[in-house]
Amino acid sequence: MTKKFYIKTFGCQMNVADSRVMGELLLKSGFEKTEDPSTADVVIFNSCSVRKHAEDRLFSNLGLTMKKNPSARFILAGCTAQRFGEKLLKRFKKLSAVLGPGEIFKIEKVVRDVLEGKKVIATGRTEYRFVERRADISENVVIGRGCNNFCSYCVVPFLRGREEYRPSSDILKEISCLVESGTKEVILLGQNVNSYRDPEKGLNFCELLDEISKIKGLLRIRFLTSHPKDVPDELVVLMKKNEKIAKHIHLPVQAGSNKILKQMNRKYTREKYIEIAQKFRSEIPDIAITTDIIVGFPTETEEDFFKTEDLVKKVKFDGIYVFKYSPRDGTSASKLKDAVSEEEKQRRHKRILDLARKISLARRASFVGKTCDVLFEKNEIGHNSQNFLVFKKGAKKGSFLKLEIKDVKNEMLLA
């Protein structure tokens, strides 16, 4: 009988992309996918270790699913698997395998092994390989893995390793294949896409974007994530002139105080960040700039926090992901005294969120009366170039329409 697998993803878009690859490899080897973990023979949790909250949620979910489906085999993949390795097999007796993010391409073998009753630890690093898949309208394409930056609060460089980039020929082949099967938008993924360097031809990120934009039938290119210290002027120029590149940049600022930025090892100042944002806004007036902010970093005083609020008001972000700081073992920030109380973190979190909401609503309202190119990833629901959600009654999945924005409701543009 065909064996069924279930995958649940925690964490970032890189994990979403990794789950997609694992699912596709298992389907190709004859396994069947189920959306119900209680009917699965193999349950895979693709985990995230970046924040403590995500890790706690993962462990409680894992324990509950093990109780509900005691006969299934369980695989813990992703960053948490990499972080704790064998220790997890001791902690969860029902767990059969730990599979780090560098070994996802081994998933078929790992699934076969656990079905035979073996215990598996796979936390090495295998070469990235292009996996053909059934294309959706918008597809994630991983251009590189790992990070060299060592921000003081972040576990990614320890768990996903140092930066490694795929050759442009491989990336272009993957995107061409996707476009032939119906993809209209790609989201290039990497921990730090701006430092892309083609290992074969030496192309930089802007040159890669330029090459990708020549693919016929591809309508839009997005990318995630950009580090503010690595944004070249060339990127602003390219985004301005190349119609296929979405008018949106996600540029995590993390904090608005130079003292905190230094302790975070971010390698830019608030002044530099504001200068970059202003450059984008003056060259590409309708660009959307989104960001990540951490509140309650150790030693963050009220004054430091005001500087973050002030920066948010100055840049007028179109969207902000706000996180409460939580120390992660092994990082240099975890050695600092976590001086900000939980209540204070909560208060700062809410203040930034409220401010962010007010600004992002005003930004969206400024689009009323304007015309936008909207790509519909689902019937009636799409995104414009700025990545704002757009609703249009009757619009068909896959259509790319020029639409006038008539109203805004709950952060959604109505066309």
Query: In sequence order, what are the residues at sequence separation of 6 or more whose Cβ sits closer than 8 angstroms to the Cβ of residue 199?
Result: 165, 166, 167
Q: How far is the CB of 227 from ligand SF4 (least distance, A)?
A: 5
* CB of 255 or CB of 277, closer to ligand SF4: 255
Here's the x/- map for ligand SF4, 209-238, by CB under 6 A: it reads as ------------------x-----------
Window contacting ligand SF4 (CB under 6 A); options: 5-13, 15-23, 149-157, 235-243: 149-157
CA-based torsion, 97, 101, 103, 106: positive or negative: positive
Q: How far is the CB of 175 from ligand SF4 (least distance, A)?
A: 24
Hey, what's the torsion of the CAs at 230, 232, 235, 240, to 10 degrees? 130
Window contacting ligand SF4 (CB under 6 A); options: 10-18, 148-156, 351-359, 406-414: 148-156
Helix (H) or strand (E) holding 324: strand 319-324
For 349-368, what is the HEC assignment?
HHHHHHHHHHHHHHHHHCCC
Q: Is 390 in the site for ligand SF4 (CB under 6 A)?
A: no
Neighbours of 415 (CB within 10 A): 21
- Joined together, the tokens standing for residue 4 give 């069924």
* CB of 112 or CB of 267, closer to ligand SF4: 267
Query: In sequence order, what are the residues at sequence separation of 6 or more whose Cβ sits closer than 8 angstroms to the Cβ of residue 143?
Result: 165, 166, 171, 188, 189, 190, 193, 196, 208
Q: How far is the CB of 249 from ligand SF4 (least distance, A)?
A: 15
Options 154, 178, 249, 356; binder of ligand SF4; rule CB under 6 A: 154
Look at the block and give the residue holding tokens 């414009």: 384
* CB of 107 or CB of 147, closer to ligand SF4: 147
Q: Is 156 in the site for ligand SF4 (CB under 6 A)?
A: yes
Q: Is 151 in the site for ligand SF4 (CB under 6 A)?
A: yes
Q: How far is the CB of 45 from ligand SF4 (least distance, A)?
A: 21
Q: Is 191 in the site for ligand SF4 (CB under 6 A)?
A: yes
Options 11, 100, 144, 157; binder of ligand SF4; rule CB under 6 A: 157
- Let me know: does 215 contact 247? Beta carbons within 8 Å: no
Closest C-alpha among 200, 215, 87, 82 to residue 139: 215
Dist. CA 227–CA 225, nearest whole Å: 7
Here's the x/- map for ligand SF4, 90-129, by CB under 6 A: it reads as ----------------------------------------
Window contacting ligand SF4 (CB under 6 A); options: 78-86, 92-100, 153-161, 357-365: 153-161
Interface with ligand SF4 by CB under 6 A: which residues? 147, 149-151, 154, 156-157, 191-192, 227
